[in-house]
Amino acid sequence: MIEVPVLIAGGGPVGLSASILLSRLGIKSHLVERHPSTAFHPKARNINMRTMEIFRQCGVEDAVRAAGLPIERTGFLIWAESLAGREIERRVEQRSHADGPELSASRHCLCAQDDLEPVLRKHAEALAPSDLAFATEMIHFEQDATGVTATLRRENRETQVRAQYLIAADGARSPVRRALGIAMRGIPEIYRSVNVLFNADLTPWVKDRPSAIYLIQQGDLRATFMTINGVNRWGFLINLPVDASFEPYTPARCAEVVRAAVGEPNLKVDILGIDPWIAAAVVAERYRVNRVFLAGDAAHHMPPTGGFGLNTGVQDAHNLAWKLAAVLQGWAAPSLLDTYDAERRPYGETVTEQSLESARSMGRVKSVGGAPPPSNARARKEFHNELGMIFGANYASSAVIPDGTALPVVANPVTDYAPSARPGSRAPHLWLERGGRRVAALDVVDKAFVLLAGNRGASWCDAARKAAETLRVPLTAYTVGAGAELGDADNRWASAYGVQADGAVLLRPDGHVAWRSSGGAPDDATSVIARVLASIVSRST
Ligand X SMILES: Cc1cc2nc3c(=O)[nH]c(=O)nc-3n(C[C@H](O)[C@H](O)[C@H](O)COP(=O)(O)OP(=O)(O)OC[C@H]3O[C@@H](n4cnc5c(N)ncnc54)[C@H](O)[C@@H]3O)c2cc1C
Q: Specify the residue, 166 or 473, whose C-beta has the smaller distance to ligand X.
A: 166
**According to CB under 6 A, which one of 68, 75, 147, 171 is a site residue for ligand X?**
171
Q: Specify the residue, 175 or 419, whose C-beta has the smaller distance to ligand X.
A: 175
By CB under 6 A, tell whether 445 contacts ligand X.
no
Distance CA 233, CA 421 (A): 42
By CB under 6 A, tell whether 474 contacts ligand X.
no
Contact 516, 502 (CB under 8 A): no
How near is the Cβ of 299 to ligand X at its closest, in Å?
A: 8
By CB under 6 A, tell whether 347 contacts ligand X.
no
Q: Specify the residue, 137 or 201, whose C-beta has the smaller distance to ligand X.
A: 137
By CB under 6 A, tell whether 113 contacts ligand X.
yes
Distance CA 26, CA 325 (A): 8
Using DSSP, state whether 61 is helix, strand or coil. helix
Query: Considering only residues 121-160, where is the footprint of ligand X by CB under 6 A?
Result: 137-138
Which string of DSSP letters, residue by residue, matches 288-348? EETTEEE-GGGTEE---TTS-HHHHHHHHHHHHHHHHHHHHTTSS-GGGGHHHHHHHHHHH
Q: Specify the residue, 311 or 538, whose C-beta has the smaller distance to ligand X.
A: 311
**According to CB under 6 A, which one of 147, 307, 348, 423 is a site residue for ligand X?**
307
By CB under 6 A, tell whether 416 contacts ligand X.
no
Phi, psi of 151 (to 5 degrees): -105, 130
- Distance from chain centroid for Cα 288: 18
Distance CA 219, CA 257 (A): 12
How near is the Cβ of 124 to ligand X at its closest, in Å?
A: 12
Q: Specify the residue, 212 or 477, whose C-beta has the smaller distance to ligand X.
A: 212
By CB under 6 A, tell whether 45 contacts ligand X.
yes
By CB under 6 A, tell whether 509 contacts ligand X.
no
How near is the Cβ of 248 to ligand X at its closest, in Å?
A: 19
Mention every residue, 6+ apart, whose C-beta is less than 8 A from residue 75. Answer: 92, 93, 96, 97, 210, 211, 212
Contact 27, 6 (CB under 8 A): yes
Q: Is the dihedral of CA 230, 54, 352, 405 positive or negative?
A: negative
By CB under 6 A, tell whether 44 contacts ligand X.
yes
By CB under 6 A, tell whether 327 contacts ligand X.
no
Distance CA 353, CA 347 (A): 10
Contact 536, 509 (CB under 8 A): no
Query: Considering only residues 172-231, where is the footprint of ligand X by CB under 6 A?
Result: 175, 195
Stretch that binds ligand X, among 43-51, 66-74, 335-343, 439-447 (CB under 6 A): 43-51
Contact 190, 356 (CB under 8 A): yes
How near is the Cβ of 349 to ligand X at its closest, in Å?
A: 15
Taking CA atoms, 149 is separated from 31, 133, 166, 168, in Å, by 14, 17, 9, 14
Query: Considering only residues 3-42, where is the footprint of ligand X by CB under 6 A?
Result: 9-15, 32-35
By CB under 6 A, tell whether 348 contacts ligand X.
no
Q: Specify the residue, 358 or 420, whose C-beta has the smaller distance to ligand X.
A: 358
Q: How many residues bind ligand X (CB under 6 A)?
A: 34
Q: Given the rule CB under 6 A, which residues bind ligand X?
A: 9-15, 32-35, 43-46, 113, 137-138, 169-171, 175, 195, 237, 277, 296-297, 304, 307-311, 313
